[in-house]
């Protein structure tokens, strides 16, 4: 680890670490802002939660964000695809430019929380907390816009389409939103942590996620004479059980490859061999090297498994995103932000997740880090992300804004 990195990374940060970086636990302007705007931030989140929009269709969401930024005197630019936007606050002449990113799309998932502000859109909900992510960054933008003598610029990226592949991060980068950016930060709701705690980890904090779709074709036939045709269902079963097992023998175990089938469909009659079947699943990996060769290996193994079975097939392999690899110095800056916001007791050591996040695409270009924002209320049953019962403790919104404000101040000064 470099001297620069070791300055930021500590098991338990000391109060003087925060003071040395020129960040107080509660600058008067930030405390004043939070006192005035926290109820409004909660209302923003509830409005967005009630009106979720799917990936690349976030038109009302984009307009909502644009209206609030414009009203505050912050000029914003809608991204070329028509959804999502960017804006900047701070000194235009400053040498330092950092970015803070929020994702804004919802999931094709019904909500079953019975909250008074639950989704009003059938089959669509903010079950991953993106409504919270965007209002935290919106609140941070308005707070930093009021900050005296901001030493540099902060670019806010409100990104569409995180929940699909290919994700919106690729479009944002192609639009030039990272030009000049020196560091980038984000956060993600974590329902395993109580509100007031923030999970941090240097290095890999998420995994990869690739989509596999296998379509198998056969002449079909009578179930009494499987030898006269390709037994398509048997072929599907061979891949269902064989491919996950073979991957564990052909990949480094440290890659922790996990192949899970989420959908399989073939036939309707018990006494007929169907002529077509489809198998869909995800392959997740915990490290980059094995992921780079995963598609080639999957294609080789599928071909070997199906070779004796007299069927044709089409394999579609959609490569996802690399794992989020948190930069050491940037993680240290987040750590200092936690201490300044809620104290050192708010820091929790995060584990690498098997979920994927297209924030990783930004880290292919600039150093950065992702923090896990605790949103559990501490009493109700823990419910995971992407669940129709997912809910959050809104106290986490205040923690998120303070965390990102302090992190931005640290990053701009150093």
List, for residues 274-285, the tens digit of each pLDDT value.
Answer: 999 999 999 999
Q: Under DSSP, is residue 414 helix (H, G, I), strand (E, B) or coil?
A: coil
Q: What is the mean pLDDT of the chain?
A: 93
Give 7-24 pLDDT, tens digit per residue: 444 433 344 444 444 444
Give 303-321 pLDDT, tens digit per residue: 999 999 999 999 999 999 9
Give 86-124 pLDDT, tens digit per residue: 999 999 888 999 999 999 999 999 999 999 999 999 999
Tell me the C-alpha distance between 336 and 21, whole Å: 9
Tokens in use for 349? 């050591």
- pLDDT for res 11: 37
* Percent of the chain predicted with pLDDT > 90: 91
- pLDDT for res 408: 98
314 strand-pairing partners? 215
Q: Under DSSP, is residue 94 helix (H, G, I), strand (E, B) or coil?
A: coil
Q: Which domains does the chain have, with CATH numbers?
A: 3-205+323-413 (3.40.630.10), 210-318 (3.30.70.360)
List CB contacts of 84: < 8 A, sequence separation 6 or more: 58, 62, 78, 104, 157, 158, 159, 160, 161, 168, 171, 172
Neighbours of 12 (CB within 10 A): 10
Helices then strands, each counted (H, E), the chain: 12, 16
Please tell me the pTM assigned to this model. Answer: 0.91
**Cβ contact 395:346 at 8 Å:** no
Give 368-414 pLDDT, tens digit per residue: 999 999 999 999 999 999 999 999 999 999 999 999 999 999 999 98
Tell me the C-alpha distance between 344 and 197, whole Å: 9
- pLDDT for res 398: 97
What's the burial of 262, exposed, middle or buried (CB within 10 Å: 0-12/13-18/19+)?
Answer: exposed
Give 161-181 pLDDT, tens digit per residue: 999 999 999 999 999 999 999
Which is more confident, 26 or 177?
177
Q: Which residue matches tokens 């940060």?
A: 13
- pLDDT for res 32: 92
Give 31-45 pLDDT, tens digit per residue: 999 999 999 999 999
Element (H, E) at 234: helix 232-250
* Percent of the chain predicted with pLDDT > 70: 94
């Amino acid at each position: 680890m470099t001297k620069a990195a070791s300055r930021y990374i500590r098991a338990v940060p000391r109060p003087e670490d925060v003071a040395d970086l020129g960040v107080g636990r509660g600058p008067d302007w930030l405390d004043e802002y939070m006192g005035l705007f926290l109820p409004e931030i909660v209302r923003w989140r509830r409005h967005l939660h009630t009106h979720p929009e799917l990936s690349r269709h976030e038109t009302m969401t984009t307009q909502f964000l644009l209206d609030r930024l414009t009203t505050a005197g912050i000029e914003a630019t809608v991204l070329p695809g028509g959804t999502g936007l960017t804006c900047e606050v701070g000194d235009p002449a400053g040498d330092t430019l950092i970015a803070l990113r929020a994702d804004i799309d919802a999931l094709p998932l019904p909500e079953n929380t019975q909250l008074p502000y639950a989704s009003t859109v059938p089959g669509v909900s903010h079950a991953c907390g993106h409504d919270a992510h965007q209002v935290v960054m919106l609140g941070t933008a308005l707070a930093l816009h009021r900050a005296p003598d901001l030493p540099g610029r902060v670019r806010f990226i409100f990104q569409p389409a995180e929940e699909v592949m290919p994700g919106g991060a690729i479009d944002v980068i192609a639009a030039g939103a990272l030009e000049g950016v020196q560091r980038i930060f984000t956060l993600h709701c974590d329902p395993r942590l109580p509100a007031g705690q923030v999970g941090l980890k240097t290095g890999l904090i998420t995994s990869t996620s690739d989509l596999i779709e296998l379509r198998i074709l056969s002449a079909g036939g009578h179930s009494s004479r499987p030898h006269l045709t390709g037994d398509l269902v048997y072929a599907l079963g061979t891949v269902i059980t064989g491919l996950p097992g073979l991957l564990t023998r052909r990949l480094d175990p440290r890659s922790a490859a996990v192949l899970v089938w989420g959908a399989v469909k073939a036939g309707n009659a018990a006494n007929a061999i169907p002529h077509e079947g489809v198998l869909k699943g995800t392959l997740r990996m915990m490290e980059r090297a094995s992921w780079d060769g995963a598609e080639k290996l999957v294609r080789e193994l599928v071909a070997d498994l199906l070779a004796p079975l007299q069927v044709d097939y089409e394999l579609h392999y959609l490569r996802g995103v690399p794992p989020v690899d948190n930069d050491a110095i940037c993680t240290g800056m987040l750590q200092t932000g936690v201490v300044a916001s809620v104290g050192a007791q708010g820091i929790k050591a995060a584990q690498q997740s098997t979920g994927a996040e297209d924030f990783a695409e930004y880290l292919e270009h600039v150093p950065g880090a992702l923090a896990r924002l605790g949103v559990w209320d501490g009493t109700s049953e823990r419910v995971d992300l992407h669940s129709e019962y997912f809910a959050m403790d809104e106290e986490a919104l205040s923690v998120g804004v303070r965390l990102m404000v302090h992190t931005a101040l640290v990053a701009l000064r150093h």
